[in-house]
Amino acid sequence: MEAIKNFFYLEGAYLIMGAIILLITLYVTTRPFMSPGAPRRGLSIVALVIALFIGAHYWLTTSRIAAVKAAFDAGKPVLCESRMLRKMAQSIEIRKNTASHWRIEGDNFVSPEYIRPFHIARCIVK
């Protein structure tokens, strides 16, 4: 159940965009100038491409999450996108054994020195 929740959290926006693209495909393929089998063929091809792209993105994201967690546990530096410090630094370096007391809670890096957690999906190994 956790994997499905994680999938919808990470890919929710892409699923919505995919549904909109399918609706546009349905509208275009049902116009009078299209052939009679166009809606079935068009929706099938577009749905397959969208499913492949979303699946590939989810696989890459979960692979990166696993790599970031492993690097953090090994004490390697991790770079995370900082949404609080947009004017100065675009990213922040996180290490396990620092004075900031970083830890992993679920899929977030958390420190008592920062108000907001950093989601691991927005981090890379340095």
The mean pLDDT of 78-97, rounded to a whole number, is 74
- Where is 110: in which H helix or E strand? strand 108-110
Q: Is 105 left (phi over 0), alpha (psi -120 to 50) or beta?
A: beta
What is the pLDDT, as a whole number, of residue 87?
60
Torsions phi, psi of 54, nearest 5? Answer: -65, -40
How many percent of the chain have pLDDT more than 90?
A: 29
Confidence of residue 7 (pLDDT cuts 50, 70, 90): confident
Confidence of residue 80 (pLDDT cuts 50, 70, 90): confident
H helix runs in the chain, sequence order:
2-29, 38-73
Write down the residue that tokens 């393929």 correspond to.
29
